Structure 1
Amino acid sequence: MEKTAKLKLLVVDDDPALRQLLADYLNKQGYDTLLAPDATDLEARITRYAPALLVLDRMLPGGDGADACRRLRDRGEDLPIILLTARDETVDRIIGLESGADDYVGKPFDPRELLARIEAVLRRKRGPSALLKDGPITFGPFVFDTQARTLHKGHELVRLTGGEFNLLEALLRNAGRPLSRERLLALARDDEAGDRNDRAIDIAILRLRRAIEDDPKQPRWIQTVWGIGYRFLPLGAADEEGAAPLSPALP
């Protein structure tokens, strides 16, 4: 099976402890995180590494992150950008967004908030089904349609809640890749469902298994990855070399 390349993120911040914390956390969520202490040669770094998204500190040595963002936009760069700042005033948010940033996170922040913002910006930039191949997705007897938001088993409609549909879509988008509960929370965010937590993901996984697995206690499609979370296992990937240890048991 061809391995899925990790999306690259470029984090530019002058705080070495924060840079490393974000790198460790985001890498654990399945990203390839590149680090820089300032905006020097930022354009060259973007050209060289082609990141999927830029996390840019507002206050940098020798320059303003908002100015760097504005320069990138002026040269036609459409790379998604999230600005970080110690300031949380409305005027600073406006300045950041007017500079061309896609989103804005005030310090201090929970890394899980940044992850949720990253996932949301990438979804907006790429469109609702850009990470999936065109048309409905077929696995076994099932047909998953992101446009119609339906799941069919043969001619039978499998009824899912909005959150369960989002969760299955997140797993399919990252087929073969282990996803932590935190990342699944961000990917499968359902704004109408209110606050969610790790237990909510486990319950949704159990419901999905009951909907699509022949034996939910011995799942074929949605596997538990010990110490990480879950992954969707495509056909032919059961013996994938180097795969993380799997559990066919309960969440």
Structure 2
Amino acid sequence: MSGTPGPRNGRVRVLIVDDEPALTELLSVAVTEAGWRPYPAADGHSALRLARGCAPHAVVLDGMLPDLDGLQVLRRLRYESPKLPVLMLTARDALERRIEGLAMGADDYVTKPFSLEEVVLRLRGLLRRAGTAGARADDSVRVLGDLVLTEETREVHRDGTPIGLTAKEFDLLALLLNHPRQVLSKAQILEHVWSSTFDGGGNLVEVYISNLRRKIDKGRAPMIRTVRGLGYAIRSAEDGR
């Protein structure tokens, strides 16, 4: 992260950091209904890795996390992106915590329990002041599990680690991420990535799928799946189906 990304980077991206799955889901729905794209993380380390990949426009950060302290996460976010708007979530009786958060650079806070409408309104105000409230809606960034692809910069990260791809490998991965969990045949892949159905094209697809697996999946839980007799699909590592 090098400063807060502007509207040219596409749809407003909001990183949501909270270890309560039900609350994270509610916040994600509220963010989506506001016209923004949510990126949930359940702990501090995951949040920092995801932030480096997706370059969020704003962060909703719980003060209490299971690994890194929320203030530690805030400090690291501030170090890497000084102008990134951060909205802290704090307990009602945590006055000292709120003061610490604001002193360390949090832009605003809400106390639990809170209304989702309040969170959206406060985020809207932070985005407006940061100049990103009107970011246009597009799909420059795609995220599936810990895999992040940014079309505008043609960058790929997995678990926060940059992955170097050739032009066609990037196009193939982008095609798969445009259709998560959907099985794409070799003919479909050839048509969209190479605009061709020449003889031997099936072998070409196999070679590029193998290259992608070597770069994306090696040493990690596999995401690129072969569906025998049908084609290939990409799924999050947690999706065993």
TM-score (norm 2): 0.49
Higher normalized helix content (fraction of residues):
2
Identify which of structures 1 and 2 has the higher relative contact order when contacts are C-alpha pairs closer than 8 Å and 6+ apart: 2
TM-score (norm 1): 0.47
